[in-house]
Amino acid sequence: MRSFLMYRPSGPYNACLMDADPNTGQRTKIVRTARETATAAVGKPYLPGGRDTTGFDCSGFVTYVYEKVFPHYQHLNTSGIENNPAFKETKTPQAGDLIFFPSGTNPYEVKKQNNRVYPAHVGIVLDDGHWIGSQTSTGVAQVPMSHPWWAGRAKKFFRYAYIGE
């Protein structure tokens, strides 16, 4: 972690040492952008292939947010995210990382005798208890990690290489 001097308004010699973690700023910007985008997309349905506030699919939402923070970011579908070397799996997710649900059955649905295989899905971690994404049932929405439909589903977390540790 880097440190820098911050000068107080009372004078240039009255400085204090502050920790500066550039990754915290990126993470904060990802979360802020995701929330602002969700507000702009309120009431808009999930749209397969959608990549703007008129309607998103899950990877389109991630692309829209990440492009605002990382202008070099290019769209990847869920398979592209899972297999791209710029995304590394992490066991310690933080705000701004991705939550990824591989395709498969959903234990919540299996209990109801529904053995449908659901497609892969991706969203953005907001904090320890929430993530945000564009779902077929809601469009863009914040989701508690404990939500019964999502909690039992297999999941991974990915960190974008340009965020850092």
Residue 54: predicted pLDDT: 96
Residue 18: predicted pLDDT: 33
Residue 156: predicted pLDDT: 98
Q: What residues does 159 pair with on adjacent strands?
A: 88
* In-domain check, residue 87: yes
Per-residue pLDDT tens, the chain, 165 aa: give them.
Answer: 332 222 223 333 333 333 334 557 999 999 999 999 999 999 999 999 999 999 999 999 999 999 999 999 999 999 999 999 999 999 999 999 999 999 999 999 999 999 999 999 999 999 999 999 999 999 999 999 999 999 999 999 999 999 965
* In-domain check, residue 134: yes
Backbone angles phi, psi at 112, to 5 degrees: -100, 20
* In-domain check, residue 141: yes
* In-domain check, residue 115: yes
Burial annotation 108-137 (CB, 10 A radius, 16+ → b, else e): eeeeeeeeeebebbbbbbbeeebbbbbbee
Of 39, 94, 92, 27, give the one whose Cα is nearest residue 66: 27
Helix 58-69 × helix 22-40 angle, to 10°:
130
**CATH number, position 141:** 3.90.1720.10
Residue 10: predicted pLDDT: 35
Give the number of other CB atoms < 10 A from CB of residue 35.
16
Residue 23: predicted pLDDT: 56
Domain that holds residue 154: 23-160
Residue 124: predicted pLDDT: 98
* In-domain check, residue 137: yes
The alpha-carbon radius of gyration of the chain (Å, integer) is 18
* In-domain check, residue 61: yes
Q: Torsion over CA of 158, 151, 95 and 129, rounded to 10 degrees? A: -160
Predicted TM-score (pTM) of this structure: 0.85
Q: How far apart are alpha carbons 28 and 42 in whole angstroms?
A: 21
Backbone angles phi, psi at 29, to 5 degrees: -65, -40
* In-domain check, residue 63: yes
